[in-house]
């Protein structure tokens, strides 16, 4: 399923199966989760996609062919492919453990063809073994919703009382990690989203309410997954002195002006960009140990437009996952 023009439906195309170049793996896709970032690409909010483009960056599949120079993989190995698809390995960021900030980075499903397909190729350096604890469909959301949630949680430091704004795919995973780490979760949804609030409470949230509400206690940190800039000052107002507000999305609407007093007392705002391979390795091991339970709704590959629309309208509980060949 390919994007040929911004703000247009994906089109079903038949392509030649790609050949893995040096350093690459050919992956037969078993499942690919649908991420809000895919919507940002399709809707033109991320402005530099390579067109025509196969979206999708939460890929689970099996190694079909191995390119020259690749070690550590065998035919049939099950791997996951994330958003960060290639880095230069040479710049100041790559050589200092911050490859997620590489200025020459390439991204799966944005500047590299992704997983809305039966086959894809991927840089072997960014292919992660998938723990046996997960089947293909349940593992797929871990490759972005899980990874970005994990990095966002680490940016929140040792916060005991954690607010989560926007309770979708990423939030439902990170909430489980937070509870495993004995943190208290306070979930914020759209004011009318009582189903989302119930979902959060079902996953152990101590409190769940609308983003226009004040939680019963001041929070140590908050993570914002909803792409709504107005939530930044809202989150600042519910974190205590010295609190941290983490913006976990790749795109967000404009942040409105807010009074300096909401930021004062050493409150901090930070963003999260991409992931590192260390993030991937740590999180997948942790996810299997907890173990994380992902909530998913499956769609056939040719139903990609329906899955994107369901995500756009907030009609999903958990994550949509495309399954080729069903």
Pairing of strands 24-34, 207-210: unpaired
Q: How many CB atoms lie within 10 A of CB 281?
A: 12
Q: Which domains does the chain have, with CATH numbers?
A: 24-142+295-323 (3.90.180.10), 147-271 (3.40.50.720)
Sheet with 207-210, edge to edge strand ranges: 207-210, 184-189, 161-165, 219-224, 239-247, 268-271
Q: Check pLDDT > 80 for residue 1.
A: yes
Q: What's the pLDDT score for residue 44?
A: 95
- Burial of residue 45, with CB atoms counted within 10 A of its CB: 0-12 exposed, 13-18 middle, 19 or more buried: middle
- Burial of residue 280, with CB atoms counted within 10 A of its CB: 0-12 exposed, 13-18 middle, 19 or more buried: buried
Of the candidates 109, 145, 138, the one whose C-alpha atom is nearest the C-alpha of residue 248 is 145
Print burial letters for 96-122: b (CB count within 10 Å at least 16), e (below 16).
Answer: eeebbebeebbbbbbebbbbbbbbbbb
Over residues 157-172, the mean pLDDT reads 96
Task: State the pTM of this model.
Answer: 0.94
Q: What is the pLDDT of residues 81-122, one digit of tens each?
A: 999 999 999 999 999 999 999 999 999 999 999 999 999 999
C-alpha distance from residue 298 to each of 38, 80, 320 (Å): 16, 18, 6
């Amino acid at each position: 399923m390919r994007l040929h023009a911004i703000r247009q439906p994906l089109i079903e195309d038949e392509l030649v199966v790609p050949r893995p170049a040096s350093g690459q793996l050919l992956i037969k896709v078993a499942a690919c989760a649908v991420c809000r970032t895919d919507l940002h690409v399709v809707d033109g909010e991320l402005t530099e996609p390579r067109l025509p483009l196969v979206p999708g960056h939460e890929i689970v599949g099996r190694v079909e062919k191995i390119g020259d120079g690749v070690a550590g993989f065998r035919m049939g190995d099950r791997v996951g492919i994330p958003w960060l698809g290639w880095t230069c390995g040479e710049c100041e960021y790559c050589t200092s453990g911050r490859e997620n900030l590489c200025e020459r980075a390439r991204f799966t499903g944005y500047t590299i063809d992704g997983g809305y397909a039966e086959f894809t190729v991927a840089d072997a350096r960014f292919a992660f073994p998938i723990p046996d604890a997960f089947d293909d469909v349940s593992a797929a959301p871990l490759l972005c919703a899980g990874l970005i949630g994990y990095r966002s949680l680490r940016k929140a430091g040792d916060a005991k009382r954690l607010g989560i704004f926007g309770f979708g795919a990423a939030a439902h995973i990170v909430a489980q990690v937070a509870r495993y780490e004995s943190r208290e979760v306070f979930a914020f949804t759209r004011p009318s989203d009582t189903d989302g609030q119930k979902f959060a409470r079902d996953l152990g949230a101590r409190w769940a309410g609308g983003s226009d509400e004040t939680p019963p206690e001041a929070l140590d940190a908050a993570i914002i997954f909803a792409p709504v800039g107005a939530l930044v000052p809202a989150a600042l107002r519910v974190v205590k002195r010295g609190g941290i507000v983490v913006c976990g999305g790749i795109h967000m609407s404009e942040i409105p002006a807010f009074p300096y007093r909401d930021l004062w007392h050493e409150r901090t705002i930070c963003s999260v960009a991409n992931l590192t391979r260390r993030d991937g390795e740590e999180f997948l091991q942790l996810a299997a140990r907890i173990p994380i339970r992902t909530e998913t709704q499956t769609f056939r590959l040719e139903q990609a437009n329906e899955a994107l629309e369901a995500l756009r309208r907030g009609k999903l509980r958990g994550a949509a996952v495309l399954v080729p060949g069903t």
